Amino acid sequence: MKLKTAALVLAVSVAAGSLAYKSTVLSENSFEGSDLPFEWHNANVYFVITDRFANGNRNNDNSYGRPYKDDSGYSAGTFHGGDFTGLTSKLDYIRSLGVNAIWVSSPVEQIHGWVGGGPMGVYQYYAYHGYWPLDFTSIDANLGTVEDFRTFVTEAHKRGIRVLIDVVMNHSGYATLKDMCDFKFGRTVGNVDPCSKFIPDVEAGQSYHNKPIDASEDESWNRWWGKDWIRFDGYGQTCGAEDSIDGCLAYLPDFKNSDPNANEVSIPVFLQEKWEHKDKLHDIPAAIPYRKGQMSVAQFEAHWLASWIEEFGIDGFRCDTVKYVPQKTWKLLKELSENALNKWRIANKGKDPAANWTDPFYMTGEVWGFTNDPEDRLGYASNGGFDSLIDFYFNPDGVNLNTCIIPDPDEWKRYAQMYGREDSKVKLGNLTYISSHDTSLCRKKDMEKAAVMFTLMPGAIQMFYGDETARENDKGGGIDLEQGMRSDMNFPADIINADKWSANVGRLSSEYSSNKVLSVWQKVGQFRLRNPAVGAGAQYSLGENSFCRIYQDKAKGIDNRVVIHLGESDKINVSKCFANGTVLQDGYTGKEYRVINGSVEIKSEKLALLEIKR
């Protein structure tokens, strides 16, 4: 909800005598809380698979001939219609969760066709999740247009939400019959026309795994990526399921990007011919200069991806399959990305509020099974340019149902020791989750407790869309547990009130969802949003299950302090955080208290979230 208040004063004295926040004048186009202090180590990242979130434009649902139901009548692995127009329409809802960064599945154009889905290959599996890239320089038409995406980024920025996109450097998408038809490359079994429909002969034991693609070595594959670009059987290089940098992961064609300074390569034939036909709706303008010339594979990929930052002002990358790409290649991407963001900020003063932001470009990544390395012993920060890595500790298992661990106060203490700093300076940060697209959906009986204990974790956190609404694993319509983890978003019945829920996040909301569990996610998330000390600050014990967290940034004049108390209490010691006479508000109940003799008299039944009254 847009505010028309002339001024919002957030400056108050604290124990140390410095300012919690500076006074800020909001314009007609500002959103409540859009000016709150931001620190990546306190990020509350909302991860969305765009296709499964919200359908804002049904006209793009069947782009490239993709169906909602495949030829066998299943929708487990198809595109469901979610797009950036729909996602933009739900930004107030997302903001009401206290989210200050959103990670979206890769928006780059994906392979057009399908591969066999599930162990038995009973359905057609499309690239709705964004991990099978075809053209890094175009937006996937199923997700919208260049201007749709630009609008999404700008509207997120207006709400103080940073935007991260998923990036894939390790591999291309699979070869599919549809792409072989569209781009005239490759070989089929028995010279079958790739443009014809393939229906498996079930009685003969066939499945969609038996699609008639002949990947043996043949010149017909030279019109695809080419042997200088990828490892693939069609180029006489076995492409299996190796766990190495110079090998194929899950039979995915592996980009030869191990050395940024490797021999220069030319643009693949299929891309040259594709780019002869301009597509102003979907081509990324800043990427056009990199559709020609010669560079190494790593340099082409890095320039293509960085062009999205230069064009849209994207604030960060979530990098996929990090351990399968050398750190020096990631470092190249980081350097180009930083330059691109600086260039975008200069060019977009007055057009997008993020042009005035000063926080650095952020890069986090997936190293499967990784937990933590705050001292950067593995070199992902110093040699790879990463600011953080995803932390698998609380949900390490793939596919299985409900295998997550809910953090407890002891885990808070352990993580605070690793990541809690008053100045937030950590060599390699973390991004902790309890649900993800590759593991299980965390759905414990007490999801209110899960919301509290997870959202108040030290370090950065990542929600998976629907954590807050207990979105169910629908088993992909009953046929695949893995696809079911990415089921369609289940919005609350009262989402029409989302603008009211997000109207006062910078001060203290007075309205929340009528859904009891969702309201807890909102209250605790908004408390975290207002207070960088929650995730980025140092933690001090005030007694059993009672903690003070402090974050300071002297350059910005910020001294932010909070007290978190779990369980029942009549009096809470706050002396480490707040001076006598300070008026506090409880971000959970909305009640106000004054500090007397280092404590506040309070009737707390389960949780108190104390912050300076705004």
Can you tell me the distance from the alpha carbon of 257 to that of 245, in angstroms, rounded to the nearest whole number?
9
Handedness of CA 111, 112, 115, 118 (dihedral sign): positive
Can you tell me the distance from the alpha carbon of 154 to that of 30, in angstroms, rounded to the nearest whole number?
12
DSSP annotation string for 325-372: S-HHHHHHHHHHHHHHHHHHHHHTTTT-GGGG--PPPEEEE--TT---
User: Using H for helix, E for strand and C for coil, what is the string for 405-465?
Assistant: CCCCHHHHHHHHHHHCCCCCCCCCEEEEECCCCCECCCCCCCHHHHHHHHHCCCCEEEEEC
Q: Decide if 469 contacts 53 (C-beta within 8 A).
A: no
Can you tell me the distance from the alpha carbon of 333 to that of 328, in angstroms, rounded to the nearest whole number?
9
Q: Decide if 94 contacts 103 (C-beta within 8 A).
A: no
Can you tell me the distance from the alpha carbon of 306 to that of 108, in angstroms, rounded to the nearest whole number?
12
Of the candidates 520, 534, 382, the residue with the CA atom closest to the CA atom of residue 43? 534
Task: Pull the structure tokens for residue 402.
Answer: 């409900």
Of the candidates 472, 436, 439, 447, the residue with the CA atom closest to the CA atom of residue 364? 436
Any idea of the CA torsion for 449, 450, 451, 454, to the nearest 10 degrees?
120
Which residues does 432 contact at the CB level (< 8 Å), separation at least 6? 391, 393, 394, 415, 454, 457, 459, 460, 461, 462
Q: Check 61, 70, 315, 320 and give the catalytic one.
A: 320
In the block, tokens 């964004």 appear at 130
Of the candidates 602, 598, 569, 570, the residue with the CA atom closest to the CA atom of residue 585? 602
Neighbouring CB atoms inside 10 A of 521's CB total: 26
Can you tell me the distance from the alpha carbon of 47 to that of 412, in angstroms, rounded to the nearest whole number?
23
Can you tell me the distance from the alpha carbon of 271 to that of 274, in angstroms, rounded to the nearest whole number?
5
DSSP annotation string for 21-90: S--B---TT-BTTTTS---GGG-EEEEE-GGGT--S-GGGTTGGG--SS-TTS--TTS-----HHHHHHT
264 tagged catalytic: no
Helix (H, G, I), strand (E, B) or coil at 134: strand
Can you tell me the distance from the alpha carbon of 381 to that of 294, in angstroms, rounded to the nearest whole number?
29
Provide the residue type at 401 as one letter.
Answer: L
217 tagged catalytic: no
Q: Decide if 434 contacts 47 (C-beta within 8 A).
A: no
Neighbouring CB atoms inside 10 A of 432's CB total: 26
Task: Pull the structure tokens for residue 455.
Answer: 């959202």
Can you tell me the distance from the alpha carbon of 498 to that of 496, in angstroms, rounded to the nearest whole number?
6
User: Using only C-alpha atoms, what is the Rg of the chain?
Assistant: 25
Helix (H, G, I), strand (E, B) or coil at 142: helix
Can you tell me the distance from the alpha carbon of 435 to that of 221, in angstroms, rounded to the nearest whole number?
39
Q: What is the DSSP letter of 141?
A: G
Catalytic center residues? 320, 366
